[in-house]
Structure 1
Amino acid sequence: MHPQRVESLSHAQRERLAYIDFRLYFMGEVGRPDLANRFGVAPAAATRDLALYREVAPQNIEFDGSNKIYRIGKEFAPLFDHAPQRVLSALSLGFGDGVNGESQPMLPCESPAVLSSPRMDVLAPICRAIRAKRPVEIRYHSVNSGESARVIVPFALVDTGLRWHVRAFDRKSSEFRDFVITRIDSPLLLDDEPKANERPDADIQWTRIVEVQLIPHPDQPRPEITAKDFNMVDGAIELKLRAATAGYMLRRLSVDCSPDHSLRGPEYRLWLKDPLAIYGVKNAMLAPGYRSPDKQEHGRAII
């Protein structure tokens, strides 16, 4: 391989070579039509790209003349790093931007149904506000207080695994809060600058990083399989989470956060070794089984 040669290529060429690499690695073959369909290049240009890839990584690719297709080499080693999330997204949704690229799954894939998707006419202005660092006037539907007009200063999107939030300063409550995007109506960007106390660096829960250690649940069988499933190192997972997202992430992973690993059920494969790690996290109550030390008396939660 010649990594320096690859680095000297244009961005567009590297993208096409990475696609050849991807097709060989995960599909076992690649042909001129694959490049032509994905990038809109002429057959001659596709041929040049395949020849260049073959020159850079000859052991990765073999030409099958009878079928006029290139196949994975017996000593294949990926030329590019392929991030797992991007690979799985490409295999299940199609490789590309969904406009000119492939929009069909590359392999049969089944994924959980998405029941809560933001409306694009709401998400788009929220994204523009984050990018431009501008406040937004919204109508918000709250479970506790019903519908109300608010002005928020958004600065980040958060995927909880079940729905998308926007993290923002809320001028109505004068606090940083999470707003569920599907509950937002009529966003309108305002032409003024956020105040110092409305900016992300003033959000203590956002800037605080909590370090948690997850281990196989002590009361579940075959901890070695749990360790394998989660790519544990020395029998544990070390995670650094923003306090503002910790409760969501621990719930998403079904981590037993009780101090005595008392939750039962096959979904609780992991245990939070030190529940004190999330002490002071505002959304810690979302973490399965978590009991604040302030509300415990002789090992029991005060109800």
Structure 2
Amino acid sequence: MSDLDDLPQEVRKRLEFLEFRLYWEGRVNRRDLTQAFGISDIQASVDFRAYNGLCPDAMTYSPKEKRYRSNEGFVPVLYAPDAPRYLAMLCPESADAAGGRDCWIGSPPPVLVARKIARKPVEASVLQPVVLAIHYGLEIEIRYQATTHKEDWRWIRPVGLVYSGFRWHCRGWDLKNQRFGDFVLTRILDVRAKRDAGEAASKDPQWHDEIKVEIAIDPRLEDGAQKVLAAEYLVGDADVLTVNVPKLTLPYFLKLNGIEDDRPDQKPEHRQIVVMNRDQVDEALPEGWKDR
């Protein structure tokens, strides 16, 4: 086999695509290449000859189907099989985010996707000044609509962005309340002014501090169910999975994984996993969060 490192990058990408189709769909033809990369039929033929020279035992041409089929025992040499990436391509939201040609699936299997309730999108006119304020250490005046009070204008100093698994937040120093807070980007209705930051706010301890959250399988489950879930969540023979979580994202982590609290009325089949160091975790939650 020729040295794969000698392949030009653009050719390597096309041959990787060829192997992707052979691996996941068991077939590929010249038209697949021309449509995916906008190349000519002649160039596609050249690519197929090049691949046959590199991997002569990988595929066989079927005159009846006018396409190549992967041979028994086919193992790709350019494409590294990536199941999570393939599944992400099948999800419309992930495929859209990945963008056009990065979705290489030609014949997807039937798929149903449980949809999230559509939320208001973040406006570029809001996100751009927030991002620039982070880059250049600026304060910006925002019109903010919280769920607990009427909309008002306030100055904040953005320090970062936080994704909760559901929505995007701006983490920033709130000059009005003299504390750090999370501002939901879709609730920032307008940005009307900016200025150089005055005296720098103290560093946000919750941004860097972490807490170890100890996760275990719900002990109320039967042994068989515990073994199945342990294979999904735990590592090796461990009984507990320890996850280092930034304190800032701790509430979101718990909510996203369905372990916000230990309700006795919640069936173990629904909860599946539990927090072993609950007292320590609750102590690390932001003030007032447990009362929401």
Q: Which moved more, 1:93-102 or 1:145-154?
A: 93-102
Residue 35, structure 1, aligned to residue 33, structure 2 = yes
Residue 225, structure 1, aligned to residue 228, structure 2 = yes
Query: Tell me, what secondary structure is at the counterpart of 1:138?
Result: strand
Q: Measure, in 1, the Cα distance between the counterparts of 2:277 and 2:64.
A: 61
* Deviations 1:72-123 (CA, angstroms, capped at 9, x unpaired): 3422335444555432221222478545766999443322323224234356
Give 2:217's aligned residue: 216
The number of residue pairs the alignment matches comes to: 281
Q: Which moved more, 1:98-107 or 1:149-158?
A: 98-107
Give 2:187's aligned residue: 183
Q: Measure, in 2, the Cα distance between the counterparts of 1:193 and 1:53.
A: 58
* Deviations 1:234-292 (CA, angstroms, capped at 9, x unpaired): 2443322211112211221112654xx84522321101122245254334976xxx79x
Judged with a 3 Å threshold, the aligned counterparts in structure 2 of structure 1 residues 182 and 256 are, in CA distance, closer, same or farther, namely: closer
Give 2:166's aligned residue: 162
Judged with a 3 Å threshold, the aligned counterparts in structure 2 of structure 1 residues 117 and 96 are, in CA distance, closer, same or farther, namely: closer
- Where in structure 2 are the equivalents of 1:1-303 lying within 5 Å? 5-6=4-5, 9-58=7-56, 60-78=58-76, 79-81=78-80, 83-93=82-92, 94=95, 97-98=98-99, 106-114=108-116, 115-122=118-125, 124-125=127-128, 128-129=131-132, 132-135=135-138, 136-187=140-191, 190=194, 192=196, 196-197=200-201, 202-221=203-222, 222-230=225-233, 232-234=235-237, 235-255=239-259, 257-258=261-262, 262=264, 264-265=266-267, 266-283=269-286
Q: Which moved more, 1:218-227 or 1:233-242?
A: 233-242
Bigger RCO (CA 8 Å, 6+ sep): 2
Percent identity of the aligned residues? 24
On the 8 A contact 1:157/1:167 being kept in 2, the answer is: yes
On the 8 A contact 2:17/2:104 being kept in 1, the answer is: no
Amino acid at match of 2:226: P
Amino acid at match of 2:270: E
Amino acid at match of 2:88: S
- TM-score, scaled to structure 2: 0.76
- TM-score, scaled to structure 1: 0.74
- Higher alpha-carbon Rg: 2
Gaps of 5+ in 1: 292-303
